[in-house]
Structure 1
Amino acid sequence: RAGGITRAADELGRTQPAISRRMALLETELGMPLFERTREGMVLSQAGEVLVPYAEQINALLADATDAMGTFLSDKAGPVSLVVVGTLAGASLGTVLKGFSRSCPLADLSLRTATSDEVSEQVRRGDAAIGLRYFDERAPDLETVPVGSENLAVVCAPAHPLAGKDVKSLRDLESEHWLSFPNHFERREASAETLFAQFLVRGAPSIDWSPVDSLTAQKRLIEAGYGLGFLPTASIEEELRVGSLSLIEVADLNVGNPIFAVVRKKAFLSGATCELLALLIAEFGGKA
């Protein structure tokens, strides 16, 4: 189109030797000449004529990719992946997701749940850009950001003798049957340790308990009078409102599970991913 290498180099903003070198490399790779020299200048060879429509398609795709990356960065668009501990997928997360859909309408958000250890592993593998887990994990390949704390409360059935009443110490509930998340290694949830740690520091090294790996199942079993639970207050707001669950106020208990956001160290975070991270910190930090 330009009629010569020098004019083509000027139009492309490159030097003539650089263009000549690129042309020679391409002809060597294809194994045939793409241009012929004539008195009027350089013209396409037959092979060059065949290649042109493909080259034009590639050039158009590169322009589309450049535009897409510009939108990805400036308009907060593109894929965003989030993995959270299941018990954190409550009202606060719902508020975050609503705000995110308003501020980043072009983003494509995917959400999954896992245990705290699995959250970190999925972020580490690149299966998720952001993780939300309990407790800090000091790992050389991850960055953890303290987000807030999730308040915990002792929960019982409305028919329990202590429903709505106060006790002086958690030790007063040592003989009760408890429900908690499993704490065996394969499916351990870091937050499960909180219940046992609270009894341990009060001189009760063991309690009667059953492992239940679903928050919903724990709530239903507690409602049925099967035991007590140590649950996030944000996860039982509806049950408390309708009266299907009750609280036991414990005077010497004021504890919560620390919440951390997890990202890969030195990972590229898109504009939409940064927006989601900021919303998570603002929402969960505000509930601390």
Structure 2
Amino acid sequence: MASSGDTTTCRLPLTSAMSRKLRVHSSAIHYFDMVRRCRSIREAARRLNVASSAVNRQILKLEDELGAPLFERLPGGLQLTSAGEVFARHVTVVLQDVERVSSELDAMAGIRTGHVEIATVEGLTSDLLPCVLDALYARYPRVTVGVMTLGSQAVPEAITSGAVDIGLAFGLQRHPDLQQMRVGHFHVGAIMAPDHPLASRTEVSFATCAEHRLILAKPDLSIHHLLSTLIRKTALPHKPALETSSLELARQLARRGAGIAFQTRIGIEADLAAKTLIHLPLSDNGGLQSDLGVYVRNNRHLPVAVDAFVRALSEEITHREGLLKQK
């Protein structure tokens, strides 16, 4: 996966034992999945708390039954073969369905436990995602959550590979293996310090911004692709002051007056309220918008906890979209 790949695990409070771990399929499937994730038989065995020989034996048994090698041994670790890629897609579906069954059995018993993995773009970790997590603490006190921050372009792979349950990203293209559960439309604007020469305007064109120092996004961020046409059409008088994959770095530099950055109002709510940043909608093409979506793997039956998070995230996006339309 491309991008910085920073991972933060947000553990919600635990009050008793975690949800049941169903083992309704062959150990070979679980062993294969762990080897795929670790790219190492030894590391997979360590995490599974079994002998390396036992893991290797199960992989060899699978390869014998399938009639094809599943892994290729490379200097950097094990890599899936073409047959391994096909089998991995099947294993991902099987194991995620087991999670759903376990979650539904827990829900029937009133336990409400489980684990949810989320891949999100960095801008949502400052306000939107914390609001949703905080609201769900009381309702699902025994659920644990993993949060992985990625660029938008890396989110689809995280979902389809089974690394995460839910993806939050701006500007994703249609993908056959993704289901869009909700999408909100947000104006893209220039963000700058309150004392910037352009700050008194109500909107601004990209060409006008280009007359000043710019802070632009690298290709792994959706805003790069959204602005690429405008950048090509504009003869930049000088090289951007900074190109970065970090929206947080761009935000901090814009606050300090080091240049003009570009994004939606999502992620800079606190700065706007404190008047430490100004957000001017871009006037190009009648106004530029970025779509923020909630995504899951297509045709997946969602476990109870995952479904609850999808609904909460969708409702929060709808709420914020409505608030911004009123401004």
- Which residue, 228, 232, 253 being the options, matches 1:221? 253
Q: Is the 8 A contact 1:196 1:206 kept in 2?
A: no
Please list, as runs of the form range in 1=range in 2, the aligned pairs for 1:184-203 lying within 5 A after superposition.
188-198=220-230, 203=233
- Which residue, 104, 129, 135 being the options, matches 1:99? 135
Structure 2 segments unaligned to the other structure (5+ residues): 1-100, 322-327
- Residue 277 of structure 1 and its aligned partner are, at CA, apart by 0.4
Structure with the higher fraction of residues in strand conformation: 1
Please list, as runs of the form range in 1=range in 2, the aligned pairs for 1:1-288 lying within 5 A after superposition.
70-72=105-107, 75=110, 76-166=112-202, 169-183=205-219, 188-198=220-230, 203-204=233-234, 208-209=239-240, 210-248=242-280, 254-288=287-321
Percent of residue pairs identical? 22
The change in CA–CA distance for 1:68 and 1:224 in structure 2 (over 3 A counts) is: closer
- Residue 199 of structure 1 and its aligned partner are, at CA, apart by 5.0
Q: Counterpart of 2:234 in structure 1: which amino acid?
A: A
The change in CA–CA distance for 1:73 and 1:206 in structure 2 (over 3 A counts) is: farther
Matched with 1:40 is none
Q: Distance in 2 between matches of 1:262 and 1:167?
A: 31
Q: Distance in 2 between matches of 1:167 and 1:148?
A: 21
Q: Is the 8 A contact 2:265 2:279 kept in 1?
A: no
Give the root-mean-square deviation of aligned CA atoms: 2.6
Q: Distance in 1 between matches of 2:173 and 2:266?
A: 24
Q: Distance in 2 between matches of 1:168 and 1:139?
A: 33
Q: Is the 8 A contact 1:143 1:264 kept in 2?
A: yes
Residues paired across the two proteins, number:
217
Q: Distance in 2 between matches of 1:173 and 1:247?
A: 12
The change in CA–CA distance for 1:73 and 1:138 in structure 2 (over 3 A counts) is: farther
How does the TM-score come out when normalised to structure 1?
Answer: 0.66
User: What's the secondary structure of 1:225's corresponding residue?
Assistant: coil
- Residue 166 of structure 1 and its aligned partner are, at CA, apart by 4.1
String of CA shifts for 1:100-135, please: whole Å, max 9, x gaps: 222222222211111112211111111111111112
- Residue 245 of structure 1 and its aligned partner are, at CA, apart by 2.3
Q: Is the 8 A contact 2:182 2:295 kept in 1?
A: no
Q: Counterpart of 2:162 in structure 1: which amino acid?
A: G
- Residue 153 of structure 1 and its aligned partner are, at CA, apart by 2.2
Q: Is the 8 A contact 1:81 1:127 kept in 2?
A: yes
The change in CA–CA distance for 1:68 and 1:176 in structure 2 (over 3 A counts) is: closer
